């Protein structure tokens, strides 16, 4: 066949593939295709790094929890990039924010995880009646359907926008690791006129304002809605992990010195991070430590100060973590504040299971912290898939902490 008159594979990929009325086949590019595009800026390339082993691991689960915490482990640190999408349709929810261009080309923040995140989105769909294009999977391809999306349900953003919502919009830890660097990049580089981010909660807006953004340059992204952006710039990652890059850590250090310049870094405070308010708000259904009050009594007797970080201002949280010498906390978002700790700070994460500890361990180790882990016992009668109720042997826990 004559090459000049035939349609190449690249030509076919670049054209919307019609399947039916308002339905197109979604083009999901490979990571290689994404990285080969012009206009992609490398902020930090991927790197191989070895996670140091934990100081100790204590298993109070009543069984034997599998982990690899007591040996060094090689880890591929993600790379960070910026890319600009013209005439982009933005929509999404928890774990997926889609950038769709040319009607059917898909991109998101997690470059190597495009297909995995689409599958998760289809399986755990946020709602078929939401005002956004519907994505389905027919066993061999992803389809995008705009038939139920009315023009008056679209929000048009005509000014260049910079996308700042983290992959998990309601997670404080991911706001620290992704939204704070994004906001800092926006303020320092001014790649767009507006900062587009989910600020559904008061703390989200307050964090952005504290960092230096103005109310008039923030556009709220309502989850489950659709935005048509003339120009959308976003931070993207080769893959998602919980390890701050060297550039991120430099950002965190500058923020720490800016907002808590008077912190006494030699104070060596002993602090315990509580989740009791979160447990109350969830009705005991979100990874609740059922005997936390007993734990608080025990650690208070050992000289620990008790804090619920979400009750403190951003600068107060920074100061607290900079002044800490020993931090004991229930595994969760509050421990992500360790990005503001001095290197060498000791961190003990009390975990209900091994579901999240490997990510937490890489975070602590990458920050140069001395970390250890204590596992509690899950309630096997709780049918929740991951966030089960749990408890811990208070006497055994106090024995471990007393010897530190």
pLDDT for 147-194, tens place per residue?
888 889 999 999 999 999 999 999 999 999 999 999 999 999 999 999
Neighbours of 281 (CB within 10 A): 10
Beta-sheet strand order (sheet of 57-59): 57-59, 370-375, 346-351, 324-330, 269-273, 305-307
User: Phi and psi of 343, rounded to 5°?
Assistant: -55, 140
| Residues forming beta bridges with residue 346, ordered by sequence position | 326, 370
**197: its two tokens:** 């981010």
Q: Of 384, 175, 174, 351, which is closest to residue 283 (Cα–Cα)?
A: 384
**Rounded distance, CA 100 to CA 142, Å?**
13
- Max distance between CA atoms of the chain, in angstroms, equals 83
Q: Is residue 174 part of a domain?
A: yes
Of the three residues 206, 240, 274, the one that is the final residue of a domain is: 240
Q: Is residue 398 part of a domain?
A: yes
Q: Which residues of the chain have pLDDT under 50?
A: 1-18
Of the three residues 183, 209, 240, the one that is the final residue of a domain is: 240
Q: Of 368, 251, 225, which is closest to residue 318 (Cα–Cα)?
A: 251
**Rounded distance, CA 335 to CA 326, Å?**
12
**Rounded distance, CA 320 to CA 312, Å?**
10
Are 169 and 295 within one domain?
A: no
Are 318 and 369 within one domain?
A: yes
Q: Of 204, 331, 312, which is closest to residue 260 (Cα–Cα)?
A: 312
**270: its two tokens:** 């002993």
Are 204 and 330 within one domain?
A: no
Q: Is residue 4 part of a domain?
A: no
**Rounded distance, CA 333 to CA 14, Å?**
41
Are 290 and 323 within one domain?
A: yes
Specify whether the CB–CB gap between 51 and 75 falls below 8 A: yes
Name the domain count of the chain: 2
**Rounded distance, CA 331 to CA 342, Å?**
20
- Output the pLDDT for position 280: 82
Are 186 and 287 within one domain?
A: no
Q: Is residue 69 part of a domain?
A: yes
Q: Is 281 helix (H, G, I), strand (E, B) or coil?
A: helix
- Output the pLDDT for position 282: 75
Crossing angle of helices 246-259 and 180-189, rounded to 10°:
80
Q: Is residue 195 part of a domain?
A: yes
Q: Is residue 3 part of a domain?
A: no
Are 130 and 156 within one domain?
A: yes
CA 348 to chain CA mean position, Å: 21
**Rounded distance, CA 187 to CA 403, Å?**
46
Domain that holds residue 319: 50-76+249-402
- Output the pLDDT for position 20: 52
| Residues forming beta bridges with residue 81, ordered by sequence position | 42, 236
Q: Is residue 44 part of a domain?
A: no
Specify whether the CB–CB gap between 253 and 321 falls below 8 A: no
Alpha helices in 221-329 (DSSP H): 246-259, 276-281, 292-301, 314-323
Are 210 and 253 within one domain?
A: no
Are 235 and 336 within one domain?
A: no
Token pair 């100060």 is at which residue?
A: 305
Of the three residues 186, 221, 240, the one that is the final residue of a domain is: 240
Are 264 and 309 within one domain?
A: yes
Are 24 and 129 within one domain?
A: yes
Are 204 and 185 within one domain?
A: yes
Q: Of 350, 358, 355, which is closest to residue 331 (Cα–Cα)?
A: 350
pTM of the model: 0.91
Burial class (CB in 10 A: 0-12, 13-18, 19+), 350: buried
Neighbours of 19 (CB within 10 A): 16
Q: Is residue 106 part of a domain?
A: yes
Are 67 and 97 within one domain?
A: no
User: Phi and psi of 136, rounded to 5°?
Assistant: -130, 170
């Amino acid at each position: 066949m004559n090459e000049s008159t035939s349609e190449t594979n690249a030509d076919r990929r670049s054209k919307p593939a019609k399947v039916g009325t308002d339905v197109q086949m979604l083009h999901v590019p490979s990571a290689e295709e994404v990285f080969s595009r012009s206009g992609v800026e490398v902020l930090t390339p991927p790197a191989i790094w070895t996670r140091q082993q934990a100081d100790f691991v204590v298993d109070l689960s009543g069984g034997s929890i599998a982990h690899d915490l007591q040996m060094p482990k090689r880890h591929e640190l993600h790379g960070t990039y910026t890319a600009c999408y013209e005439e982009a349709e933005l929509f999404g929810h928890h774990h997926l924010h889609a950038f769709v261009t040319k009607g059917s080309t898909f991109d998101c923040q997690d470059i190597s995880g495009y297909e995995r995140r689409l599958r998760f989105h289809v399986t755990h769909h946020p709602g078929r009646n939401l005002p956004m294009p519907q994505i389905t999977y027919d066993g061999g391809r992803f389809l995008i359907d705009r038939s139920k999306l009315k023009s008056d349900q679209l929000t048009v953003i005509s000014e260049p926008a910079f996308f700042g919502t983290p992959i998990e919009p309601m997670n404080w830890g991911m706001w620290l690791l992704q939204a704070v660097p994004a906001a800092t990049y926006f303020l320092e580089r001014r790649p767009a006129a507006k900062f587009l981010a989910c600020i559904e909660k008061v703390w989200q807006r307050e964090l952005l304002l504290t960092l230096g953004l103005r109310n008039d340059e923030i556009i709220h992204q309502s989850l489950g809605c659709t935005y048509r952006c003339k120009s959308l710039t976003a931070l993207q990652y080769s893959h998602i992990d919980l390890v701050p890059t060297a550039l991120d850590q430099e950002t965190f250090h500058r923020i720490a010195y800016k907002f808590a310049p008077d912190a006494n870094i030699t104070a060596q405070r002993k602090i315990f991070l509580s989740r009791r308010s979160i447990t109350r708000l969830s009705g005991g259904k979100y990874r609740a430590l059922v005997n936390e009050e007993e734990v608080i009594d025990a650690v208070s007797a050992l000289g620990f100060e008790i804090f619920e970080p979400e009750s403190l201002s951003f600068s107060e949280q920074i100061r607290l973590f900079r002044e800490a010498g020993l931090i004991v906390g229930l595994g969760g978002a509050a421990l992500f504040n360790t990005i503001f700790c001095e290197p060498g700070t000791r961190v003990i994460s009390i975990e209900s299971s091994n579901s999240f500890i490997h990510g937490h361990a890489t975070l602590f180790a990458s920050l140069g912290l001395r970390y250890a882990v204590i596992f509690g016992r899950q309630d096997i009668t709780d049918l929740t898939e991951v966030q089960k109720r749990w408890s811990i042997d208070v006497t055994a826990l106090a024995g471990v902490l007393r010897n530190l």
